Structure 1
Amino acid sequence: MVSVDARGRIEFMNDAASKLTGWHPAEAAGRPATDVVRLLCKSTLEPLANPLNVVLERGTPLRLPVGTVLVRRDGSEAAIEDSTAPIHDHTGAVAGAVMVFHDVTSAQQLVLQMTHLASHDVLTDLPNRAMLEDRIKQAVAYGERNDAPFAVLYLDLDRFKRINDSLGHPVGDMLLCAVADRLRACVRNSDTVCRQGGDEFLVLLADQQNQHHAAAAAEKILAELGRSHEIGGHQLFVGASIGISLFPDDGRDAATLIKNADTAMYRAKANGRNIAQFYKHDMNLLAVERQHLEADLRRALERDEFALHYQVKVELASGRISGAEALLRWEHPEQGIVPPDRFLSAAEDFGLIAPLGRWVLKEACAQAKRWQDEGLALDTMAVNVSAQEFRRRDFADCVRAVLQETGLDPACLELEISESSLMRDVESSNTILSSLKELGVRLAVDDFGTGYSSLSCLTRFPLDALKIDRSFVSAIGAPGDANVITSVAIAMGGALKYRIIAQGVEALVQADFLKARGCTEGQGFFFGEALTAAEFSRRMCRAPLRP
């Protein structure tokens, strides 16, 4: 609070005013108000008329305009709000004026911060979807007036979820920030990079003259993101699938352009990932089909439309059935039996692989226990484990719960994990495998020979079996190195005391070759296709198979 006499000279100043202006009350007393209370307009930095003098002249109360800045005695500034009123004597004449003001700098900073947060992503500080849509609307308005095309890019990071699941969310968050920085560096100041959410980003490329400019920008982004990221002591690699829509051909509003870029992005994923794909009008049909597939998969889980078929695993030395592999089938009410290669990838994208994998595990263990109770015991029941399942923190607990619920001896369950899944993070894989091994289950490397693992890495894992990839087995007897590679794999596995399982055995020459080199078990159409549980039971009652 500051008051002045009728001449506009300081009469009184309280402690709060003294602290805010930097003037001691004794020093300020008798000075003109313009010396002590100096005001500027924040936007123009022009001096403002002193409200105390204005009130003395007008004799009526006054409020300062928004954006008023007080210049302290030391030259620093503070945003203030005030009200100033005249002081009347007993005759009603104006005898002075009083100004009550307070510092609103912190409040204004908070408002600015809240405004920023409302339009930006908290983690990466990139503009959010709302701000991007507003800028696309501006680009549309400009483009329609000036016949100026532009592009919208929809990016989804490839392999990010595996990194997030295996190394944890803090590392994943740092990787997202690193990706955001690289995206900023790839575009111009006139462009906009936005984080859509999760591992998805949007880019508005303003003033793109044609498809070639958009394609060049997308290729630059792919190349930049493809370089390794040093995050938390880890060298990480992440690519992106990019969908591109163009104004005005692919849409004349923000929602349509974003939707069509999203549709093109899914086509890029389907075409092999880490590529850019322009939107084409027939993609909407595929997008609708994808939506129907997701709905059908969710209903299939609810309605128990899935079933397991079982393929025999044969001990090559004796010809006896030593085990079975559970293979998932979808009994679609309209399409009939749907093989897994037509829906498993989609189930991963839709986040359904975990509940589906748990169902497979439970059903396979329950069937193995039923066969045991019927006297048709198998050495092992093999179940494939997806990379997403394997990296889940609760996977070992899930396996333990299923074994307890079904009553199956853990030694009868063999979990097959692909070599590439194990090699993504050796340390993490070893920890997970050790926790599974403590349960007493058997562990096998699936598709061995395709993941480029070294012998030193394999020896660190608590494994029981190596499953030679079918691509090597199918080439046995043909020109090339398959015979040598398969022989080396069998010899190496035998030296490490692993059971060696060959998958994809389709001919007698392959079975004889594998048996001669000491391969433990074989599996494939030569020994029989996948069967229903009832058909498999009858098969087990037959005489041993000739390897």
Structure 2
Amino acid sequence: MKSIGDGVVSVDAMGRIEFMNEAASKLTGWGAAEALGRPAAEVICLRCKTTLEPLVNPLEIVLQRNAPMRLPVGTVLLRRDGKQSAIEDSTAPIHDHNGMLSGAVMLFHDVTSSQQLVLQMAHLASHDVLTDLPNRAMLDDRIRQAVAAGERNNGAFAVLYLDLDRFKRINDSLGHAVGDLLLCSVADRLRACVRNSDTVCRQGGDEFLVLLADQQSQHHAAAAAEKILAELGRPHEIGGHALLVSASIGISVFPDDGHDAATLIKNADTAMYRAKAGGRCNAQFYKHDMNLLAVERQQMEADLRHALEQGQFVLYYQVKVELASGRASGAEALLRWEHPQHGTVGPERFLPVAEDVGLIVPLGRWVLKEACAQARRWQNEGVALETMAVNVSAQEFRRPDFADCVREVLRQTGLAPGCLELEISESSLMRDVEASNAMLSSLKDIGVRLAVDDFGTGYSSLSCLTRFPLDALKIDRSFVSAIGAPGDARVIASVALAMGNALGYRIIAQGVEAQVQVDFLKARGCTEGQGFFFGGPLTAAEFSRRMAAKAGAYLR
């Protein structure tokens, strides 16, 4: 130790100095014999460089947390004679041959290059680069220790598998740099939610794992999960954005749900998918029948990829009717999956999975091209429709090449731009107003029509919508269903229609199912209606026959 040019100090489990080399003596001004047995904070006096506020000694912190750490940038060591020295350090726990904490060691900044490299490599091998949280390898080791302790003491602990809800939408809309900052913010809040004896790990992407050591019951794990959900639910101030993010949490408990790290994590993962299926932003404990659901989801992922390759997706079409004249004014393309075993599968079952596994963009582009091609075929056959409406997912809308894709599809199919109406959800538009406006302007330059889907669901304001180059607002079906309901429910629909008319846009009402709704909508200036009152979704062939039978007249 005398030949080492760096300061080295070690303490026992009580935080008392038990060793100090010559370099440490020179830096602190304490002789090794004088320092022996003294508290670490008395010998190694640390201050913040800018404020000179005292800092908690890292040796004490390491003994409390049983985890390595480093001093913050700008730390100074106050020598015994009052002089200051800027230092950087690496402080780590010391364990005996039984793995028990026996002390801690602190190496000052001037370590040799080889020692510094070893420390850096050791840290990188056990920590996530982005968040500096322990990685999966370290968590597995901690779980192995917890299993061993649990088996010795007949104890229990819990593993939480946490996945951020719809994090990909933030990445797609605001970029990966903002997404990375959000992940770091989430990591900081998770650290603050748990005890020093617990472990927070980044599994990868937007997934995190939490080891709750020494949990006495499921109640304690549930309380911890609720605390995490509440803490993550507060707005994250990132890059000028107040981002809201929720999480789905799955919980497995030792020993009931597994006796090793792999099984406990797998079962917590399974429970997490049940939490997502249950509406997201909630926590679920693992139950043994969940494995069947996990297998079904994995099978759906595989089937979806195969379906896209094998052309199992089809489009159905639902008519839109001009309320003033009763004539068919357009159609909306609706995606269905013709599953070879399960028959026709609706989008509510497979689109969330397609979003999670990255298939929503290629699937959306297929829908766009097929819908435009069908609209052109109908024109050639003499079917009189002004517009073909196509829904656009948030992931598609946020891609920089989306406008180019639309332009190319129109070129390939020969459909005039004015015959295509793209429907973008209100929530997608409001995630980033400036980016949305730029994309809408690019699409408007092509000549396509633009509509806001699910208008009135509470995301946007009139001032924001007036900034967008829109053609139509599609009133959410929840407002239409209120028409004819008892009490004052129809007032809600009147307000939504009045807002749309105030902006001077075409108003389209979806979910029309009764004559009383048609009369109400017409009286209040609604332009078009869509719903089962006029007809449900039909195949292209059925739609053609329906149009011929109706001769374009849907209202008398």
**TM-score category (smaller protein):** 0.7 to 0.9
Residue in structure 1 matched with residue 316 of structure 2 by the alignment: 309
The SS at the match of 1:531 is: coil
Structure 1 residues 104, 510: CA separation in 2 closer, same or farther (over 3 Å shift)?
closer
Q: Name the CA distance, whole Å, in 1 between partners of 2:125 and 2:196.
A: 21
CA distance in 1, matches of 2:498, 2:441: 25
- Deviation >4 Å, runs of 4+: 40-46, 68-77
Match of 1:545 among 523, 532, 554: 554
Q: Give the Cα–Cα distance (whole angstroms) in 2 for the partners of residues 423 and 345 of structure 1.
A: 20
Residue number among 157, 169, 172 corresponding to 1:165 in the alignment: 172
Looking at structure 1, the residues matched to 170 and 27 of structure 2 have their Cα atoms a distance apart, in angstroms, of 52
Q: Is residue 154–residue 200 contact of structure 1 (8 Å, CA) maintained in 2?
A: yes
User: Is the 1:311–1:327 contact (alpha carbons within 8 Å) kept by the matching residues of 2?
Assistant: yes
Are the equivalent residues in 2 in contact too, given 1:368–1:377 (CA < 8 A)?
no
Q: Unmatched 5+ residue regions in structure 2?
A: 11-19, 29-86, 88-109
Amino acid in structure 2 at the alignment position of 1:39 = S
Q: Which residue of 2 aligns with 1:320?
A: 327
1:360-375 alignment, distance < 5 Å: 360-375=367-382
Helix, strand or coil at the partner of 2:415:
coil
CA shift, 1:519, in A, is: 1.3
Is 1:285 equivalent to 2:292 in the alignment? yes
Deviations 1:133-157 (A, max 9, x none): 1111111111111111111011111
Give 1:499's aligned amino acid.
Answer: R
Q: Deviations over 1:136-195 (max 9, x none)?
A: 111111111111111101111123222221111111111111111111111111111100
Question: 1:394-419 CA deviation, whole Å, 9 max, x = no partner?
Answer: 32222222122212111111011122
Q: Following the alignment from structure 1 to structure 2, what is the Cα–Cα distance between the partners of residues 471 and 490?
A: 13
Which aligned pairs between 1:136-535 and structure 2 lie closer than 5 A? 136-535=143-542
In structure 1, C-alpha distance between the alignment counterparts of 2:350 and 2:430, rounded to whole Å: 25
| C-alpha distance in 2 between matches for 1:271 and 1:371 | 41
CA–CA separation in structure 2 for the residues paired with 1:270 and 1:391: 25
- Secondary structure of the residue aligned to 1:39 is coil
Per-residue deviation at 1:393?
2.8
**Structure number with bigger Rg:** 1
1:230-281, Cα deviation, whole Å (9 max, x unpaired)? 1111111111111110000000000000000011111111111111111111
Q: 1:38 touches 1:72 (CA, 8 Å); kept in 2? A: no
Q: Is the aligned partner of 1:111 residue 2:118?
A: yes
Which range is displaced more, 464-473 or 415-424? 415-424
Measured in 2, the distance between the counterparts of 1:482 and 1:424 equals 29
Say if 1:412 and 1:442, in contact at 8 Å, map to a contact too.
Answer: yes
Paired residues in the alignment total 468
Whether 2:3 is the aligned partner of 1:39: answer yes
Query: The residue matched to 2:118 in structure 1 has which SS?
Result: helix
Match of 1:272, SS? coil
Q: Give the secondary-structure state (helix, strand or coil) at the position aligned to 2:427.
A: helix
Quick one: which amino acid aligns to residue 190 of structure 2?
A: L
State TM-score, norm by structure 1. Answer: 0.81
Counterpart in the other structure of 2:91? none
Distance 2:24 2:275 in 1: 60
Q: Tell me: CA distance 1:412–1:209, structure 2 relative to 1, closer, same or farther (3 Å).
A: same
1:69 CA displacement:
7.7
Distance 1:445 1:262 in 2: 36
Using the TM superposition, name which of 109-118 and 495-504 deviates more: 495-504
CA-CA distance at 1:38 after TM superposition: 4.8
> Relative to structure 1, is the Cα distance of residues 73 and 261 closer, same or farther in structure 2, using a 3 angstrom cutoff?
closer
Inter-partner Cα distance in structure 2 for 1:401 and 1:493: 32
Q: Supply the distance in 2 between the matched residues of 1:217 and 1:483 (Cα, whole angstroms).
A: 43
Per-residue deviation, 1:488? 3.3
Task: Specify the code of the residue in structure 2 equivalent to 1:423.
Answer: M
CA distance in 1, matches of 2:347, 2:395: 16
Match of 2:97 in 1: none
8 Å CA contact 1:244–1:277 kept in 2: the answer is yes
- 1:266-324, CA deviations, whole angstroms, 9 ceiling, x for partnerless residues? 11111111111111111001101111111111111111011001111111111111100
Structure 1 distance, partners of 2:254, 2:521, is: 60
Aligned AA (1:337): T
1:536 lines up with 2:543 in the alignment? yes
Distance 1:545 1:75 in 2: 90
**1:207 match: secondary structure:** coil
Structure 1: state its 5+ residue gaps.
1-36, 47-67, 78-102
Cα distance in 2 for partners of 1:236, 1:490 equals 30
In the alignment, structure 1 residue 125 sits paired with structure 2 residue 132: yes
Equivalent residue of 2:400, what SS? coil
TM-score, scaled to structure 2: 0.80
Once residues 458 and 370 of structure 1 are traced to their aligned partners in structure 2, the CA distance between those partners, rounded to angstroms, is 34
Closer/same/farther in 2, CA of residues 233 and 495 from structure 1, 3 Å limit:
closer
Contact 2:233–2:244, Cα closer than 8 Å, also in 1: yes
